[in-house]
A and B are shown apart, each in its own frame.
Chain A
Amino acid sequence: MLAGQRTGRLLRVLAASVVLLPQVAAADIDEWETVVAEARGQTVYFNAWGGELAINRYIGWAAEQLRTKYDVELRHVKVTDIAEAVSRIKAENAAGRGRGGSVDLLWINGENFASLQRAGLLYGPWVHSTPNATLIDWQGNPTTLSDGSMATGGFEMPWGTAALTLFYDSQQVTQPLDDPTALLQWIEAHPGRFSYPQPPAFLGTAFLKQLLLVLVEDTDRLQRPVGDDFAQVTQPLWSWLDRAHPSLWRRGRLFPLSGPAQRDLLAVGELDWMLSFNPSEADRAIGQGDLHETIGALHFAAGALANSHFLAIPYNSSATAGARVAANFLLSPAAQARKANEQFWGDPTVLDTDKLSATQRRLFDVLPSGAATPPTPERFLAEPHPSWTTRLEQAWLERYVR
């Protein structure tokens, strides 16, 4: 990329981040028609995490719809970690491949998004010229505008929102445990029954951040970049972990590698706990016969870590029109309602139901909700500044890898 182009992109990022309430102008609707026409016959390689069967099936359903309605071929490239796709885009950039990149659409957030955005490797801004973007709850859900303290700026489109939830076997956990101290006591009383995914797996790091946000008093400090006071600020977190680790599953010498891995362990009875960003995950799993029925769910009373996830398009995609059409479809009320339906995925919507028509709103009203779904958290906690994430993961590795 030329230096001039990169400056231009940065300026556009800054400009877009100033705009808080985008509106779709009348002229843009004609532009959209051209995009839809251009998208016909295109193949969109959608790089998305493939570790969850339900999500893979949902994407398969979306692909079917896109094929019949828009003549767009959506191919799900299953990745273990979206970082794989990010590094591929970077490799293509390094090799000078400015067109015909291998990735057309990415399911992304957080540090991965920040990394691509800083390097100017994303196409856009495109979100605000997407028709269904007007339905997003921009004001009510701050995590749609800012992804880990980096502005989304129209370069990534919110797809779903979530709060970190702890699920447990209600036959083993009998009293409410909605603060870390109570949880620690339970862990020490029941050695070998609790664990969390190993950082830097997404949920593992999220658990660390959740604990940090709830244990630390000065949470404003966490919204600013990390500095030399890291050890001091994070001391309460390490004290908690140091006390907990000897009583963890496998005595803290082995950790589940991901959220679904831990759900597996809960299903076979090795663990009594699992974590997820999806509040309806347990209900869906029970409905599909993946989990037994005695599951409960909780959020920390002090607040649940909230997190949105997004869709982005790389700069060198050869199917940007197809990707935008696909993204628009995934944002449609019908697709969002199916996504929020815990029989299919159970991932909460980013749409503001107030902005929907009566028929569209009914799609969301009739969604099933079971006993294992917690009530909406009392407080949403925003993610710390992204620089804390890498430091936390590094510090965890240094501390606990022998």
Chain B
Amino acid sequence: MSALRLDGVTLDIDGKVLFQPLSFSVEPGNVTSVVGPSGSGKSSLLAYLCGILPKEIQGRGAVYAGDKQLTDLATERRALGLLFQDSLLFPHLSVGGNLLFGLRAKQSRAARRQRVNEALASVGLEGFADRDPATLSGGQKSRVALLRVLLAEPRALLLDEPFSALDDDSRARVRSLVFAEAQRLGLPTLLVTHDMEDVAAAGGDVIELRHPQDKQGI
């Protein structure tokens, strides 16, 4: 795994710049938190990194995974795993179907199913493969969403406030699961959040999105 590097990344809506240009690096296995008031463009930053910015927002600056520049690639070639606040499990596929969708490995069907089952077992969701995603609890959905992203073998993990919809119990557990997996797989992780507990648990660098006029943060 290589580091995720941003170089002069900034966003603007109709010429209005959202935040001062960002240039930083996230080492493999580390979690860097991005904080800022609501509307400061945190989620849009992740969208820009993935290449899914809505057309009203313009983005500039380069993104690298190691030496490979990602900004020229189409979204589906960037291999950046994105986790939203809503788990966004495809409602028409089963839990296992969702995971198979994400699974990159080109193996036989049986082998792929095996991997999916193993993944589910590893997070305590054994036997959930044929379940309807709508029947899962919030915490369960988050775990499945995480598995889906990880099975896609991403270069880095981008987390867009993925824990804020969970109740306190699940929150802590899912959070530690995500960070543990990130570290285990050596994935550079970028966490967007407004919750200071998350920042503390991440334990890595903290980037504050500053409005262009600010000299210091709020």
- Any A–B CB pair closer than 8 Å: no
